[in-house]
Amino acid sequence: MTRKSFLFSIALILFCLNLSAQDLYKVTADKLRVRETNSTDSKIIGFVPQNENVQVLDSTDAKYFKVKVTNGEGWVSSEFLQRVSPAPIQKVQPKVVEVKPAVIKEDSNILFISLVALVLLSMLFLIFKFLMHNKPLMVFAIVCVISIGYLCFSMFLVQKTISGKFTSDSDTQYLSFDFKSKDSVVIQDTYADSLFTAKYIIEGEMIKLKQQENTILLMIRDNQTLIGEGFTKGVYNKN
């Protein structure tokens, strides 16, 4: 065997091993423990629900496979995995960075404020022009215009804030969110049986939190209720 043939054979074997290590497997256990290393004494970092598909990254250990989960990577018992199919080969696409000027949002806010102010001033002008002879009706119309202006201001211009602890009664991974400050929240993870602190931002009616590779979304229904989206689906009520 020539040197080139030998190197080609080695490369082919490594390529096949890489493909087999990236197969998809289905979880057969109720809640499969995910550990930091391939040992029963290793720390549990999460759980995978039954019938969930996971991507196997390393299957050289017959007892424990290294898998990719939503929170990162970890080791699970191969006894509770059933092979589904080879994982699809992902094509590497060139990363396109989209730069959005921050002034666009500010300009849109200024335009909206100007439009609302113009409409309200026009309404006040018409009220004073045509209802001067009817004082009660004029006062009522002015109150309505002021109320509309305040409603627009509170709904679209005032930055929403959230505080306190919100807890869910349903079986979800994140049991509670305790908002400590304007950008910090303490989250109780029932699967990992732990508490961790994360940063959050509020965009309109949505609260966005970043936890490792996951983005947690919560919708603000009112000051007492949050609605979880995605894998945090559920209703969270303020304690």
Polymer length in residues for the chain: 239
The identity of residue 68, as a single letter, is: K
81 domain-assigned: yes
- In a shared domain, residues 149 and 178: no
Average pLDDT over every residue of 215-233: 83
My answer on whether 136 and 117 are in the same domain is yes
37 and 66 share one domain = yes
DSSP element (H, E) containing 66 = strand 64-69
- Are 151 and 168 in the same domain? no
Residues 110 and 134 in one domain: yes
Q: Decide: pTM greater than 0.85.
A: no
Q: What is the pLDDT of residues 72-115, one digit of tens each?
A: 789 999 999 988 865 555 555 555 544 444 444 455 667 777 88
Where residue 22 falls among pLDDT bands split at 50, 70, 90? low
For a pLDDT cut of 90, what percent of the chain falls above it? 12
CA distance 6 to 17: 17
For residue 230, give its domain range: 164-238
Does 30 map to a domain? yes
> Quick one: 139 and 203 in the same domain?
no
Q: Does the pLDDT value for residue 13 go beyond 60?
A: no
- List the CATH number of the domain containing 223: 2.40.128
Q: Are residues 153 and 168 in the same domain?
A: no
Residue 221 lies in a domain: yes
pLDDT at 179 (0 to 100): 92
- Pair (175, 147) in one structural domain: no
pLDDT beyond 60 at 166: yes
Beta-carbon count within 10 A of 44 CB: 14
Cα separation, 119 vs 20, whole angstroms: 65
Same domain, 7 and 43: yes
Question: Is residue 95 in some structural domain?
Answer: no
Is residue 98, in this structure, part of any structural domain at all? no
| CA dist., res. 114 & res. 224, Å (int) | 32
Q: Which residues of 82-107 are buried (b: 16+ CB within 10 A; e: fewer)?
A: eeeeebeeeeeeeeeeeeeeeeeeee
Instruction: Count up the domains in the chain and report the number.
Output: 3
Q: Which of 56, 86, 116 is the last residue of a domain?
A: 86
Confidence of residue 165 (pLDDT cuts 50, 70, 90): very high
User: Does residue 137 sit in the same domain as residue 171?
Assistant: no
**Strand, helix or coil at 92?**
coil
Contact 86, 23 (CB under 8 A): yes
Q: Is residue 96 part of a domain?
A: no
Domain boundary (61, 86, 111) is at 86
